């Protein structure tokens, strides 16, 4: 496989972040086995680790050739910030006082979770995927290259598809 | 997804409900007859000849993603633990597009280049390893047995509620219909039945959600009713600990990349360029289907609080009780048919995937290829369905146990090897095998120990989460230890697909 330095940098960084975030999540779980249950910082490890893990695996998947992730940097950053800040606000904000104003029909922290984490990424990610699809994900020429290489392989190994 | 129905539903066998139920089964039969005439090869049977259009594939994928849990078990869980239960479905905001970036293009192109049909096929091609393919197949088969038994029981419960035939007959009736279309039309019948079933589920979900909002006077009024008596319910974690709720998000978010019923569908899209709109459409479809999950869970809590509904005898009664006491009977009939649809749709998908593992992946792992894959595919389909129906009639506790670990097992055995492996040329066969074996052994050991009460997890920690984390770590560790020459172990066509 031919790899460019840019691709290597992007994918390598994504892999390191993925490993570190999985370690953070593992640390959060491991701490729960201590006598007396999970310490207060344990959920924070997941609150940061999960968005980082999901974001990094998306970067790993989206990176291609010498282009890295191109214009997708911003949507990925946006989603990491939305998820991480949503979890952290849910953890850090005080419980709502009785009679507090509702936000779109829900208490503030619930609204942050349902609308922020549950709906906001939908407005950005699938649209970013569609907009950048032709340049970042797949083109007719990519498919032609794959078909050509597959045909060559079949010709070299008749009777075996895999 | 999850255990579906662990309690009996009330009998709703009234003319309107039976009429809608019969109409539903008639459409299923008609679609199946049509599909059976178009199924001629193993590729038709298992991946619909790589020829499904975007809209059909999207709706079918939504349909198989949710299962009956979204209509019955999920709202009941919200009613019990509050908003913490939403962390099971909240990841849907990112999982579909994540799956598209990480897997969809590469799996679809592997299908194009190699004619692959199964998820273990992709693992076998990526690592040039029949052993990794076979091990992935075995792990999937274990998960499928659990899912199938749970779905068969759920079918029995729902069909008994609609037609009043008893759970035992309900299981055989539901499985018989599912089996008929699975054997005759394979995944092609499954896909187009899923399109019908998914549409039915979306319509029912939206109508029930709107009805709940109307009866409750809007979401604000519903919230105020709940906050007056039980403010924790609408806290960001509900009645769960933050760690437990976040664990749901991790297992159902990251774990989505290893669910074969979703991942397998990437092979089927007719034109790879149509992937462009797939995540957007699927996410929107899922939101519609999941409106009922949120609406009924929160709505029933408010209606029980203000005395509009009697307290529930069991959490799973949330949806049926709401439908029978507040909504028009026709809407109740539509939802009951929708639940039957969801269970049958999930069962069909798992039967098909399980049959492919038995007649395709396992023979390859042992260095053999069956000559008539279509015939054997049909035969194994019958065996799996009958086995699932028999297991479903055993103890409900055992079936519940089998159903619980399905999602986690798929996640811990497949996500690192498949999702990371297809995007990292440094991943090795040893890493993949270590990861799959770790996921399988840890999930089975911890779930069994937990089920037999040999061991109790600390609050917020689950076997699925521990297995997924360990599987990732083993994958990276063994790949790193065996990293020498890893890049040269990849076939050129697979390497090209990974680089694109």
pLDDT of the residue at B402: 64
Alpha-carbon distances of B378 from A98, B136, B179, rounded to whole Å: 61, 22, 10
pLDDT of the residue at B1: 40
Across the interface, whether the CB atoms of B98 and A61 are under 8 A apart is answered yes
Tell me phi and psi for residue B87, to 5 degrees.
-70, -10
What is the per-residue burial (b if ≥16 Cβ within 10 Å, else e) of B314-329? Answer: ebbbbbbbbbbebbee
Residues on chain A touching B223 (C-beta within 8 angstroms): 102, 105-107
Taking CA–CA distances from A47, the nearest residue in chain B reads: B246
Spatial separation of the C-alpha atoms in residues A91 and A44, rounded to whole Å: 8
Alpha-carbon distances of B219 from A102, B210, B211, rounded to whole Å: 10, 10, 12
* B492 vs A: CB within 8 A: yes
pLDDT of the residue at B160: 80
* A95 vs B: CB within 8 A: yes
- Which among B446, B416, B440 has a CA at the least distance from the CA of B428? B416
Q: Per mean pLDDT, which range of A86-90, A158-162, B231-235, B301-305 is the poorest? A: A158-162
Query: A-contacting residues of B 405-424, CB under 8 Å?
Result: 419-420, 423-424
Q: Answer yes or no: are the C-beta atoms of B427 and B479 closer than 8 Å.
A: yes
pLDDT of the residue at B494: 93
Q: Is the pTM of this model over 0.80?
A: yes
Spatial separation of the C-alpha atoms in residues B408 and B406, rounded to whole Å: 6
| Shortest alpha-carbon distance between residue B172 and chain A (Å) | 38
B286's tokens: 């899922």
Taking CA–CA distances from A136, the nearest residue in chain B reads: B500
Alpha-carbon distances of B56 from A65, B53, B178, rounded to whole Å: 32, 6, 19
Question: Residue A107: which of B227, B237, B496 has the nearest Cβ?
Answer: B227
Spatial separation of the C-alpha atoms in residues B374 and B371, rounded to whole Å: 9
- Which among B499, B186, B287, B34 has a CA at the least distance from the CA of A63? B499
Q: Which residue has the tokens 């869980």?
A: B77
pLDDT of the residue at A7: 52
Helix crossing, B105-114 with A140-156: angle to 10°?
A: 40
pLDDT of the residue at A86: 97
Tell me the torsion sign for CA atoms B111, B108, A21, A88: negative
Q: Answer yes or no: are the C-beta atoms of B259 and B67 closer than 8 Å.
A: no
Spatial separation of the C-alpha atoms in residues A96 and A90, rounded to whole Å: 11
Interface test with B, best of A54, A119, A126, A136 (most B CBs within 10 A): A126
B247's tokens: 């664990």
* B105 vs A: CB within 8 A: yes
ipTM above 0.85, yes or no: yes
- Other beta carbons within 10 angstroms of residue B491's beta carbon come to 16
pLDDT in tens, chain B (500 residues): 444 444 556 666 678 878 888 888 788 778 877 777 777 776 777 666 667 888 888 888 888 777 767 777 888 889 999 999 999 999 999 999 999 999 999 999 998 898 888 999 999 999 999 999 999 999 999 888 877 877 888 788 778 877 878 888 888 888 888 887 777 767 777 788 888 888 888 998 999 999 999 999 999 999 999 999 999 999 999 999 999 999 999 999 999 999 998 898 898 888 899 999 999 999 999 999 999 999 999 999 999 999 999 998 878 788 888 888 888 888 888 888 877 777 777 788 888 889 889 988 999 888 887 777 778 878 888 888 888 888 877 755 666 666 667 889 999 999 999 999 999 999 999 999 999 999 999 999 998 888 888 888 888 899 999 999 999 999 999 999 998 878 778 999 999 999 88
Question: Residue A162: which of B97, B125, B473 has the nearest Cβ?
Answer: B125
pLDDT of the residue at A53: 97
B478's tokens: 């063994």
Query: A-contacting residues of B 278-337, CB under 8 Å?
Result: 279-280, 283-284, 287, 294
**pLDDT at residue A150 tops 60:** yes
Residues on chain B touching A3 (C-beta within 8 angstroms): 425, 499
Q: Answer yes or no: are the C-beta atoms of B54 and A77 closer than 8 Å.
A: no
Share of chain A above pLDDT 90, in %: 69
Across the interface, whether the CB atoms of B473 and A26 are under 8 A apart is answered yes
Convert the pLDDT of each residue in A106-115 to its tens digit: 999 999 999 9
């Amino acid at each position: 496989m031919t790899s460019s330095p840019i691709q290597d940098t992007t994918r390598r960084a994504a892999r390191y972040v993925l490993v570190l975030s999985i370690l953070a999540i593992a640390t959060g779980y491991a701490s729960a086995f201590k006598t007396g249950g999970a310490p207060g910082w344990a959920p924070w490890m997941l609150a940061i680790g999960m968005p980082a893990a999901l974001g990094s695996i998306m970067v790993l998947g989206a990176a291609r050739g010498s282009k890295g992730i191109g214009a997708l940097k911003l949507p990925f950053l946006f989603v990491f910030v939305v998820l991480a800040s949503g979890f952290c606000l849910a953890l850090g904000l005080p419980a709502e006082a009785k009679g507090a104003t509702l936000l779109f029909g829900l208490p503030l922290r619930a609204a942050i979770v349902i609308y922020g984490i549950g709906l906001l990424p939908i407005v950005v990610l699938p649209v970013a995927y569609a907009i950048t699809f032709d340049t970042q994900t797949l083109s007719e020429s990519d498919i032609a290259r794959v078909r050509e290489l597959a045909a060559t392989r079949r010709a070299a190994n008749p009777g075996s598809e895999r | 997804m999850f255990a579906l129905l662990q309690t009996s539903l009330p009998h709703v066998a009234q003319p309107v409900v039976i009429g809608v139920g019969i109409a539903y089964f008639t459409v299923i039969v008609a679609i199946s007859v049509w599909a059976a005439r178009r199924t001629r090869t193993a590729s038709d049977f298992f991946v619909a000849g790589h020829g499904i259009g975007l809209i059909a594939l999207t709706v079918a994928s939504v349909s198989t993603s949710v299962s009956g849990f979204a209509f019955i078990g999920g709202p009941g869980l919200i009613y019990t633990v509050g908003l913490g239960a939403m962390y099971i479905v909240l990841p849907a905001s990112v999982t579909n597009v994540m799956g598209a970036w990480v897997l969809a293009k590469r799996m679809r192109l592997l299908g194009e280049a190699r004619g692959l049909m199964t998820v273990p096929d992709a693992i076998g091609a990526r690592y040039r390893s029949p052993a990794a393919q076979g091990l992935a197949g075995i792990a999937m088969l274990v998960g499928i047995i659990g899912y199938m038994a749970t779905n068969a029981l759920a079918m029995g419960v729902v069909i008994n509620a609609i037609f009043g035939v008893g759970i035992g007959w309900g299981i055989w009736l539901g499985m018989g219909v599912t089996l008929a279309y699975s054997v005759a039309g394979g995944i092609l019948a499954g896909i187009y039945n899923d399109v019908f079933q998914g549409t039915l589920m979306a319509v029912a979900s939206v109508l029930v959600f709107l009805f709940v909002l109307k009866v409750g006077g809007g979401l604000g009024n519903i919230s105020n009713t709940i906050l007056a008596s039980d403010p924790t319910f609408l806290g960001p974690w509900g009645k769960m600990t933050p760690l437990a709720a976040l664990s749901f998000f991790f297992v159902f978010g990251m774990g989505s990349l290893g669910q074969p019923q979703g991942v397998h569908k990437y092979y089927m899209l007719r034109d790879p360029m149509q992937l462009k709109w797939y995540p957007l459409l699927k996410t929107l479809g899922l939101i519609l289907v999941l409106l009922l999950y949120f609406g009924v869970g929160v709505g029933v809590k408010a209606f029980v609080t203000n005395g509009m509904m009697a307290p529930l005898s069991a959490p799973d009664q949330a949806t049926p009780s709401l439908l029978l006491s507040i909504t028009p009977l026709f809407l109740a009939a539509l939802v009951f048919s929708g639940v039957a649809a969801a269970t049958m749709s999930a069962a069909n998908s798992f039967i098909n995937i399980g049959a492919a593992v038995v007649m395709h992946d396992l023979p390859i792992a042992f260095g053999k290829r069956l000559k008539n894959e279509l015939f054997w595919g049909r035969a194994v389909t019958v065996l799996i369905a009958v086995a699932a129906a028999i297991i479903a009639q055993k103890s409900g506790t055992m079936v519940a146990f089998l159903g619980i670990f399905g999602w986690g097992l798929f996640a811990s055995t497949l996500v690192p090897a498949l999702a990371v492996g297809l995007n990292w040329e440094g991943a090795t066969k040893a890493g993949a095998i270590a990861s799959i074996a770790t996921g399988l052994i840890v999930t089975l050991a911890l779930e069994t120990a937990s089920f037999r009460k040999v061991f109790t997890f600390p609050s917020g920690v689950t076997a699925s989460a521990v297995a997924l984390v360990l599987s990732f770590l083993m994958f990276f560790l063994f790949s790193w230890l065996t990293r020498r020459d890893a890049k040269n172990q990849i076939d050129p066509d697979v390497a090209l697909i990974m680089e694109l």
